[in-house]
Structure formats: structure tokens, C-alpha cells
Structure 1
Amino acid sequence: MSSSTHASSPATGSAGSTGTGAAPAALASPAASTARRHPWRLPLEPVSPRARWLLGLSFFVLFFAVWAAVTFGGLVPKTFLADPLTMAREGVMLFTQYGFIGDIGMTVWRVIGGFVLAAVLAVPLGIAMGAYKAAEAFFEPFISFCRYLPASAFIPLLILWAGIGETQKLLVIFIGSFFQIVLMVAVTVGGARRDLVEAAYTLGATPRGIVRRVLIPGAAPEIAEILRLVLGWAWTYVIVAELIGSSSGIGHMITDSQALLNTGQIIFGIIVIGCIGLVSDLVFKLANRRLFPWSAIR
């Protein structure tokens, strides 16, 4: 008996040690070790805000380093690609001698005007299409058809109808943004959770109350994200609108610089557009986080 007891004790102890050692073994797995040392190497693993800023900044540093090496090294003629220093000098000249700040103001105003006009009309229509299937069946075929039409193709017609003034440029941005917003908002609202809708009906909500208190609050964070994305598209439309029949704006400056083969000014104008777009994107993200703290969109 004693020998069997003593024989079973090591087995029991071994099994016990195996059971208690499962957690340390899991922690010592290659994936866990990698997560501790290099969390950025794991799929979907978040990085710290500081690391995100450093990684984003490092790409810009690498980009400008390659650009400088290519241009200063003589691999590309400066007629076709100005070096960073020439681009900076041309940018200073634009602000000090050619009133480039006024061109920037005009372009920003056109983007905001056309985009706000499109959003004010498109978001309610998209909500109606997402909430009511009859409205979706009525509007969706035509809006889907128009969504594939490039906004630039309307410029000749818009010049005939509205001239070459501000109305024409606002309409180009409106056409390029409106149909995209409508469909994306409709899809977002239509994808609401059915259990929340049924629970609201059970609590006595009316159909209009379902839209106001369930569908719109649930879709609001994603609608804000849609507007942020489409705002970036609006910048491409305004430059196209300013390339034809415009006497002001960043697109107009780029066209004049192209005629003079001044690639420094062209590149500077493109970089200014990117910087303004990046700032507006960050502001939009910050506003979305403040307005919708319950949202998972980051």
C-alpha cells in the first residue's frame, strides 16, 4: 500500500505541476513573447499614440530623403522635378510676391461650400433611404447610376449653365460628393441592429421614434466618418474645377506654374493641399471622438 501510495504521489505531483504550469507555458509562447517585445508585429495589435506619431513622421522623413537624393544627385533634371530647397524658395515667393494666401482661402472656401451643401442635402436623403425601403427602391437606381459619373465630365455643361464663376466650382464639388454620401449613409442606416429596433417597438416606440432614437443615434458615428472620408474626395474635385476657367485658387496657380515649367511651385501647391487636407482630417477625427465617445471608430 505504501509503495503504491508513494508511486502515485509523483504522478499526482506531476499532473498538478502540469496543470499549474499551463499559464506560464502560454505566457512563454512565441506569440506572447513577440507581443511583449514587438507588439507592432502582431496582426490587429494597436500601437501607442507616441509610436503612431513617430512612425508617421518617419515615413515623411524617408520620403523627403529619397526626394533629396534623387534631385540633388542629378538622377532627375530639375526641369521635371525640383529639389526640396528650390521648392521651399518658390513657396516663400508665392506667399511674399504672388498673394498665395488668397488662393488658399478661395480653394478652402470652395471645398467647404460645396461639401457642406452636399452633406446638408445628402445625409437626410440617405437616412430616409436607409430607414424606409420604399424610398430606397425609388431613389437607389438613379443615385447608383449618377455615382459612377465623374464630376469632371460635368464641367463643360456647368460652364454653359453657370458660367466660370463660383457657382460652377461649387456645383462640381457638390456633384462629386452628394451621390457618394447618400449611398454610404443609406447603407450605414440600413445596417442597424434588428434587436435594438424590436426592443424599441416592444417599449412602445413609434416608427418615427425608431428613426429618431434608434437608427440615427446608432449610425451617427459612422455617418461622421463617412463625411470625413468624402471631404478628402472633395479636395480632388475642387482642383479639377479650378484647372479650367479659374482666375484664383490653388488649382489656378498650378496651371500657371505648369505653363512656366516651374515644378517647384507645382510641388509646393500639391504639398499645401495635402497639409490642409491632413489638418482637416485630424480636426474631423477629434470632433468625432468628442461628439461620439461611445463609438469604436478611431
Structure 2
Amino acid sequence: MLGVGFFVLFVCVWAFFTLGGFVSPTFLASPNTMVKEGYLLFTEFNFIHDIGMTVWRVFGGFVLASLVAVPLGIAMGAWKPVEAFLEPFVSFCRYLPASAFIPLLILWAGIGETQKLLVIFIGSVFQIILMVAVIVGGARKDLVEAAYTLGANSRGIVSRVLIPGAAPGIAETLRLVLGWAWT
């Protein structure tokens, strides 16, 4: 209840300053105007369609990034040669803003939906790869050694020890990066 109180106070102060004439409507609209215009966005300007397209783009790009990044991250975390090969490139690209790729993506993919999905993909894929690699690489060594002792091969270690042990961390990584995909 106390949390709602802040928003009620905020709207009251906002209404006081805008409806009381302390702030010009040119610079800050009143709460009444905001509600009316918000209603018009949904009823006359099909704003719900725009929201749906945004959600589709973000989830589409994120799912594609996850499908590529999770296996690569597992491979990097499980096998050191794969990590040595991919890590420098992935680490470099991880810190590049996705918006820096927009001019290239416009040239390569045009200005349609593909380009927009690729921006989300690029903004997510490198983050997921490295975070999954760290989680898989941090698996408990005693479990890995026990599996080797019991006769497991490299593939069995990955499928029966590393992936099940890393699954909660991978799910947490995907949840975190999905939030980043919206930015």
C-alpha cells in the first residue's frame, strides 16, 4: 500500500503544478491530457499493433541469439581449445554497442524486419555466449572427475554433468539478457 502511495503523491504533485498554471502545458501536459491522449493512441492510432511488433522483434532477435549463443557458450566452457579460438573475438564484440552495427546491417539486410531482428541478435548473442561459457566452465571439478572415473567420455561429461549443472545459471543468464534486449 505504501508503494502505491508514492505514485498517488506523484500524480497529485504533477496535477498541482500543471493544472495550477505553474508549468506551461507546452512543457508538461496535465495527467488528464495524458490519459485522454493515451486512450486515443490505443483506440484511434492502433498503438497495440506497434507494441505487438516491438515485442515480436525483441523476442525474435533474443530467441535467435539464444539458439546460437547457448551451444557456443557451452562449447567454450567445456573445451579449452574452443574457448581459446572464440573468446578474443567474442570479448571484443561484447563491448561494441549494437547501434554501431546499424549502418552495416542496413547495407546487408536493408531496412526491413531482418535488420531490426539482427540488431537485437547482435546486442544479445555475445553477452549470452560469454556468460554461458563462464557458467559452464565453473562447473564443480569433483563432479567432472567423478564422471571420468566412472567411465564417461567428453560428450557424456557435457551432456550429463556440465549442462545439468549449468542449467539454472543459463536460465538466469537468459532472463538477464532478455531484459537487456529491450534496451
Q: Same fold (TM over 0.5)?
A: yes
Matches within 5 A, 1:135-154: 135-154=82-101
Give the equivalent residue in structure 2 for 1:167.
Answer: 114
Give the equivalent residue in structure 1 for 2:136.
Answer: 189
1:94 maps onto 2:94 in alignment: no
Give the equivalent residue in structure 2 for 1:103.
Answer: 50
1:69 maps onto 2:16 in alignment: no
Deviation at 1:215, TM superposition (A): 0.4
**Partner secondary structure for residue 73 of structure 1:** helix
CA distance in 1, matches of 2:155, 2:104: 40
The total of aligned residue pairs comes to 180
CA distance in 2, matches of 1:97, 1:219: 48
Matches within 5 A, 1:269-280: none
Question: CA 1:78/1:227 → structure 2, altered by over 3 Å: closer, same or farther?
Answer: farther
Return 197-206 or 186-195, whichever deviates more.
197-206
CA distance in 1, matches of 2:124, 2:4: 29
Q: Is the 8 A contact 2:136 2:163 kept in 1?
A: yes
Give the equivalent residue in structure 2 for 1:241.
Answer: none
Give the equivalent residue in structure 1 for 2:75.
Answer: 128
Structure number with bigger Rg: 1
Question: CA 1:233/1:60 → structure 2, altered by over 3 Å: closer, same or farther?
Answer: farther
1:202 maps onto 2:138 in alignment: no
Deviation at 1:67, TM superposition (A): 4.5
Aligned sequence identity (%): 74
Give the equivalent residue in structure 2 for 1:9.
Answer: none
**Partner secondary structure for residue 139 of structure 2:** coil
Higher RCO (C-alpha 8 Å, min separation 6): 2
Give the equivalent residue in structure 1 for 2:127.
Answer: 180
Question: CA 1:207/1:153 → structure 2, altered by over 3 Å: closer, same or farther?
Answer: same
**Partner secondary structure for residue 182 of structure 2:** helix
CA distance in 1, matches of 2:58, 2:50: 12
CA distance in 2, matches of 1:215, 1:123: 13
Q: CA RMSD in A?
A: 1.7
CA distance in 2, matches of 1:67, 1:156: 41
TM-score after normalising by structure 1? 0.57
